[in-house]
């Protein structure tokens, strides 16, 4: 294989890119991280929660300064005031500080970080006999062009490599926006409202932060109405008395505007590797489809990518075939997307009353339900409304709630 400036170039300094770079550097690979923005993690496009299970699974020790609040779990609120808890501990982060910390850690391990470097072009170099040699990356920034043996695409929903190379299917996205608010009391639960009135085919959240701050936002497929719906939700609930503020990372403006972005919702891309290329995180379509958490998946896929890069570079062979272990690893580890997507579709098919009936049959605490409890829930629903079981596929909804827990990479 021909030589190159770098063993690995990671595109994007989000949680996925930071984790991939950290592990690549730890494994002794010459690693460069390219980030289009001047500042890491800004603008924040995340509700900022990460479960304790994720932290353990990723073997990281979060420094206190990146943690905004230690939380107890999620409370799901259904129409007609039915509430259910999913108690599993975790964190609300100061996400931009968390992402900065991850990159600092990668740099301490030997990675090089270049902000204000936007990737715009990719050129595949071959040796004789059409054998892949390396990539030349071009873009806006002093360091370009650079050559690398392997690219880890961690560019988020932009999916820059698949956009340029057209080597994968398109993914569906949903848009999510939130305000930061203050004077919001909390009992350390994240509130997720499945209230179709405000968030058709989505949900509304109140994610508490320290000093009575909170992220209040929603995701919905009704793109054109998202801000109006979020404002109406705030106006119609206890939040109407609370104040919206600009987050610390944002320059104060005349008018406080919501912030956010788009999230992949159709499951993984049909192709997450190419010659000398691995896609991770949102760039690969890895988000938990029901509640759209993606940081845990992005970071785990970043770790897998680093391990596969190390092995391939050791063998000095990094064609698409040599990187196929990456797909084996994530397919074995990540939750069954088709089941979650099926359940999500069935969930959006339910009316407010049907949602309330289903929820009323569930135990107050949804974590750690035994098989007997689950059967009991099924029976209760069948007695109250057989149509929900036989026509509205409510069992698949319940399954998809189950697969949205932290141990299945829900958050
Ligand atoms: C409103 C909202 C709320 C969310 N809430 C949560 C939550 O609470 N918990 C959770 O787990 N997930 C949440 N998510 C999803 C989560 O934010 C993403 O899944 C996660 O950030 C994905 O990480 P990533 O590293 O793959 O991509 P990103 O975090 O998107 O990072 C990609 C990086 O690549 C950079 N980049 C893009 N293109 C280029 C280029 N051409 N050249 C150089 N750099 C480039 C970007 O600037 C960015 O820094 C939320 C998403 C949204 C939109």
Same domain, 247 and 194: yes
Q: Which atom of ligand 1 is nearest to the CA of 262?
A: 53
Same domain, 234 and 272: no
Q: Which atom of ligand 1 is nearest to the CA of 15?
A: 25
Convert the pLDDT of each residue in 331-370 to its tens digit.
999 999 999 999 999 999 999 999 999 999 999 998 888 8
Given this model, what pLDDT does residue 45 score?
A: 94
Terminal Cα distance for the chain, rounded: 40
Q: Is residue 1 scored above 70 in pLDDT?
A: no
Whether the ω angle into residue 145 lies within 30 degrees of 0, i.e. cis, is yes
Going by their DSSP bridges, the two strands 112-114 and 31-34 should be labelled as parallel
Which residue, of 317, 334, 351, is where some domain finishes? 334
Candidates 156, 171, 104, 168; CA nearest to 302 is 156
Q: What is the span of the domain harbouring residue 142?
A: 6-46+96-169+267-334
What is d(CA 128, CA 122) in angstroms, rounded to the nearest whole number?
20
Beta bridge mates, 278: 152, 273
Same domain, 187 and 256: yes
- Residue partners of 154: CB distance under 8 A and separation at least 6: 10, 11, 12, 13, 14, 16, 17, 20, 280, 281, 283, 298, 302
Given this model, what pLDDT does residue 374 score?
A: 86
Domain for residue 55, yes or no?
no
Same domain, 159 and 138: yes
Q: 77-91, 104-118, 254-268: which has the highest mean pLDDT?
A: 104-118
Q: Closest Cα to atom 41, ligand 1: which residue?
A: 119
The band of 49, judged by pLDDT with boundaries at 50, 70 and 90, is very high
- Say which residue, 252 or 347, is predicted with more confidence: 347
Spatial contact of 174 and 292, defined as CB atoms under 8 Å apart = yes
Q: Evaluate: CB of 36 within 6 angstroms of ligand 1.
A: yes
> Whole-model pTM?
0.96
The enclosing domain of 257 has a CATH number of: 3.30.9.10
Distance (Å) from CA 363 to ligand 1 centroid:
34
Given this model, what pLDDT does residue 72 score?
A: 98
- What is the best residue among 94, 159, 203, 263 to mutate for testing ligand 1's pocket, by most ligand atoms within 8 Å of CB? 263
- Tell me the two tokens of residue 236: 């119609």
Convert the pLDDT of each residue in 290-323 to its tens digit.
999 999 999 999 999 999 999 999 999 999 999 9
Q: Evaluate: CB of 118 within 6 angstroms of ligand 1.
A: yes
- Tell me the two tokens of residue 103: 């990159």
Q: Evaluate: CB of 411 within 6 angstroms of ligand 1.
A: yes
Give how far the C-alpha of residue 118 lies from the chain's centroid of Cα atoms, to the nearest Å.
Answer: 22
Domain for residue 51, yes or no?
no
Domain for residue 222, yes or no?
yes
The band of 253, judged by pLDDT with boundaries at 50, 70 and 90, is confident
Same domain, 213 and 260: yes
The band of 91, judged by pLDDT with boundaries at 50, 70 and 90, is very high
Same domain, 120 and 38: yes
Average pLDDT of the chain is 95
Q: Evaluate: CB of 160 within 6 angstroms of ligand 1.
A: yes
Q: Evaluate: CB of 279 within 6 angstroms of ligand 1.
A: no
Q: Evaluate: CB of 260 within 6 angstroms of ligand 1.
A: yes
Domain for residue 58, yes or no?
no
Same domain, 216 and 325: no
Same domain, 157 and 200: no
- Helices 295-314 and 325-333, interaxial angle, to 10°? 150
Distance (Å) from CA 44 to ligand 1 centroid:
8
H-type alpha helices, 75-177: 95-108, 160-165
Which residue, of 316, 334, 352, is where some domain finishes? 334
The band of 226, judged by pLDDT with boundaries at 50, 70 and 90, is confident
- Tell me the two tokens of residue 235: 């106006």
Q: Evaluate: CB of 99 within 6 angstroms of ligand 1.
A: no
The band of 223, judged by pLDDT with boundaries at 50, 70 and 90, is confident
Q: Closest Cα to atom 27, ligand 1: which residue?
A: 156
Given this model, what pLDDT does residue 252 score?
A: 77
What is d(CA 223, CA 4) in angstroms, rounded to the nearest whole number?
44
Candidates 91, 92, 106, 137; CA nearest to 14 is 106
Given this model, what pLDDT does residue 347 score?
A: 95
Same domain, 79 and 140: no
The band of 389, judged by pLDDT with boundaries at 50, 70 and 90, is very high
Q: Which atom of ligand 1 is nearest to the CA of 282?
A: 26
Domain for residue 133, yes or no?
yes
| Range with the poorest average pLDDT among 32-36, 46-50, 98-102, 382-386 | 382-386
Q: Evaluate: CB of 158 within 6 angstroms of ligand 1.
A: yes
What is d(CA 25, CA 277) in angstroms, rounded to the nearest whole number?
17
Q: What is the mean pLDDT of residues 76-100?
A: 95
Q: Is residue 243 scored above 60 in pLDDT?
A: yes
Domain count, the chain: 3
Same domain, 211 and 330: no
Q: What is the mean pLDDT of residues 23-32?
A: 98
Domain for residue 134, yes or no?
yes
Given this model, what pLDDT does residue 2 score?
A: 55
Count of all residues that appear for the chain in the document? 411
The enclosing domain of 306 has a CATH number of: 3.50.50.60
What is d(CA 287, CA 160) in angstroms, rounded to the nearest whole number?
17
Which residue, of 246, 264, 282, is where some domain finishes? 264
Domain for residue 305, yes or no?
yes
Distance (Å) from CA 16 to ligand 1 centroid:
8
- Residue partners of 60: CB distance under 8 A and separation at least 6: none
Domain for residue 52, yes or no?
no
Burial class (CB in 10 A: 0-12, 13-18, 19+), 127: exposed
User: Where do we find the tokens 């000095």?
Assistant: 316
Given this model, what pLDDT does residue 40 score?
A: 97
Same domain, 183 and 241: yes
Same domain, 213 and 243: yes
Convert the pLDDT of each residue in 154-211 to its tens digit.
999 999 999 999 999 989 999 999 999 999 999 999 999 999 999 999 999 999 999 9
Question: How many helices (H) and strands (E) are present in the chain, helices listed first?
Answer: 13, 17
């Amino acid at each position: 294989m021909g030589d190159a400036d770098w063993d690995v170039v990671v595109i994007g300094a989000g949680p996925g890119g930071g984790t991939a770079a950290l592990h690549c550097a730890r494994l002794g690979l010459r690693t460069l991280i390219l980030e289009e923005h001047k500042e890491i993690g800004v603008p924040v496009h995340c509700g900022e929660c990460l479960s304790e299970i994720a932290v353990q699974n990723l073997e990281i020790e979060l420094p206190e300064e990146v943690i905004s609040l230690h939380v107890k779990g999620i409370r799901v609120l259904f129409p007609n005031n039915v509430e259910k808890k999913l108690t599993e501990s975790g964190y609300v982060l100061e996400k931009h500080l968390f992402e900065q910390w991850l990159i600092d850690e990668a740099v301490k391990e030997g990675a090089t970080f270049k902000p204000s470097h936007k990737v715009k072009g990719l050129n595949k170099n071959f040796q004789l006999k059409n054998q892949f040699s390396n990539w030349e990356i071009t873009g806006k920034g002093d360091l370009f062009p650079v050559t690398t043996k392997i690219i880890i695409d961690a560019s988020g929903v932009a999916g820059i490599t698949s956009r340029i190379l057209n080597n994968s299917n398109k993914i569906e996205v949903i848009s999510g926006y939130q305000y930061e608010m203050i004077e919001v009391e909390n009992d350390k639960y994240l509130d997720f409202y499945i209230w179709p009135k405000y968030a058709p085919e989505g949900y509304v959240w109140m994610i508490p932060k320290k000093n009575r701050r909170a992220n209040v936002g929603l995701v919905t497929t009704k793109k054109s109405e998202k801000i109006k719906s979020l404002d109406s939700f705030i106006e119609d609930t206890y939040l109407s008395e609370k104040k919206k503020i600009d987050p610390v990372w944002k320059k104060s403006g005349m008018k406080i505007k919501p912030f956010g972005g788009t999230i992949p919702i159709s499951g993984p891309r049909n192709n997450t590797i190419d010659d000398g290329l691995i896609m991770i995180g949102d760039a690969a379509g890895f988000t938990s489809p029901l509640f759209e958490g993606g940081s845990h998946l992005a970071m785990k896929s970043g770790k897998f990518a680093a391990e596969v890069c190390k092995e391939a570079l050791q063998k000095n062979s990094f064609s698409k075939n040599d990187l196929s272990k990456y797909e084996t690893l994530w397919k074995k580890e990540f939750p069954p997307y088709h089941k979650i997507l099926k359940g999500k579709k069935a969930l959006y098919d339910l009316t407010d009353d049907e949602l309330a009936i289903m929820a009323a049959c569930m135990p107050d605490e949804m974590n750690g339900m035994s098989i007997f409890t689950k059967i009991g829930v099924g029976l209760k629903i069948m007695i109250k409304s057989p149509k929900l079981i036989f026509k509205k596929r409510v069992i698949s909804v319940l399954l998809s709630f189950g697969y949205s827990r932290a141990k299945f990479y829900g958050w």
